[in-house]
Structure 1
Amino acid sequence: MPTLRRRILEFLPRLNVHVKDLESGAALVTRRNGYRVTPVGPRSWLVRRGKDGFTDQISRMAETSSAKKWSSVGLGPNAHLFVNGKQDDADEFQMQKAAQDYMGARHVAALLRHYQVNCVFDVGANIGQYGRRLRQHGYTGRIVSFEPVATMTEKLRRAAENDPEWWVYPYALGREERVDTINVVYGSMSSILDPTTFGNERYKRFRNTRSQEIDIRRLDSLMDEALKGIDAPRSYLKLDTQGYDLEAFAGAGVYKSEFVGLQSEVALMRIYEGMPRMAEAIEAYEAEGFEITGMFPVTREETTGRVLEFDCVMVRADAMQS
């Protein structure tokens, strides 16, 4: 039988009051519509509105016994972060990770708009998480995804099948074209490189791998085809190849200067043999004219708090159009 609270919440829309359920015992109640609620962790939500005055119109959490546990943090004139103050360390870790992922995606989406990007090269696409996130954050241009692991490529194709501007290639990218093998690992950690001792200790999944033969292509050999039909290409390069980013970047050849921005996972701790450390990777990108706009933690050890990898987002400032 519905509780009195539920009956009240169901009645409020008749009074032009908008109700958004968050979880059992908590709801967001506002007098204006047009807000968006994004979960960013256990009992944490980011609430945004696209019009001025949102801060004044955020009403209150529904009056429940748990309402007073919530805190609201302003993130500019049109966004608030609601957090349940009662979170243990594990909840806090998950909330921060989800919030950082979300803010990183927002940062990239804003850069793509600001630099008028119309083609994103998604290298190491896995099952299409990055492409879907681009679409969710409003990017409408072409996406060109590369994923060599056959089982992942099939899922990636399904993710892109109803999107004519999302192209999929079943290749790895590198500095030279050849046939090689990749270590197929559960999830998104398959790599051409072998894991280090640290990697084996950190990720138990490395103990259950299999090999797959793959084609490695140079990016510069595919650029003309990938950009076909775009009159004035403004491209962005996203690299997530589990330790092979600099090799894939090298294969772009003279096209490196054509990218207005790039995004690469840079490592503080070597998970794979031969992968570059963060300083080496950033130095290589800076040598090609890219400058950092944001660093977002990808993985962090819960026990020590240290970051293992960052998503490094960079742009070529002279590519900014007036």
Structure 2
Amino acid sequence: MVLDIWKQINRNKIESIYLLYGKESFLINETRQLLINKILNEEEMDFNYSTYDLEETPIEVALEDAETFPFMGEKRLIILQNPVFLTSEKSKGKVEHNLSKLESYLAEPAPYSTVVFTAPYEKLDERKKITKELKRKAVIGEAKRLSEPELKNWIKDRAIGNGAEIDEDAVELIVTLSGTNLFMLTSEIDKLILYAGDARKINAEMVDKLVARSLEQNIFTLIDKVVHRKIEEALRIYYDLLKQNEEPIKILSLIAGQFRLLYQVKELARRGYGQQQIAGYLKIHPFRVKLAAGQAKYFSDEELTNTIQLIADADFQMKTGGMKKELLIEMILFQLNNKKA
């Protein structure tokens, strides 16, 4: 895992070759920045830091740079992006790579250079000789989506790394409000740390006051209010979204998507799938499955089917001008509230 590499780097244990692969680009970018901070100072960046896109540059050109002695410093850092030759995919460019040169470098890497392969691919082709050799020689970091416990630990570590503490209930609320996007979470955590000031303590009250709700999260909360028969609060959220110039047709689409998710989670759970399996099958974060499962238990299969049909009918009326768009969603919310009464 990339998070394990962070711990090593923070202990100033820097290796010669890294392979970072996976779809979570934030983790790859953070690892690269951490290596920059540990290996180079500002004056050395112009001379001893290079990045190469291997869709455009042959590997042997980049490795010549890695074998060049550092100038005005002790270390060089070379970032090699998009090593598509490690996968079964076809390269988008027309670059021919001399992979024997890479094999030679892996056998005897330059002691004064750190070479980092950043591969934004979910899987590598383990059948290829060069992939096997690189994985044998490099420190491997898989940048995959964090599980819920990992995500919460990451939030705590992010706060601690910036000299602040964060309460457990505050961590839970941040994830609930902001979702699992690490770029967004980073922005919210940094904002909370700044607000905490000299106290350096973040609590749930601060999170509730400051953390921005995504449109998707507002829709989830809106449905949750309906589920618990709080129609006035649900309508207040809806009216706030309209004031923010959110289009009714987009709001309706997200409501439809949430109810489809409830139906899918309920059906897959009945078939014996666990939450992790459901997340993998639907290609969504397990935390979303957990939240959806909590809402789905308030609806029967028939209610979910009827609700999805109700939303489909409203969508048709919106697109054909059958009724005022804003009013259509109000009517759906009232109908859902009555069903749960």
TM-score of the aligned structures, taking structure 1 as reference length: 0.28
- Higher CA-based Rg: 2
With structure 2 as the length reference, what TM-score do the two structures score?
0.26
Question: Which one has a larger percent helix, Structure 1 or Structure 2?
Answer: 2
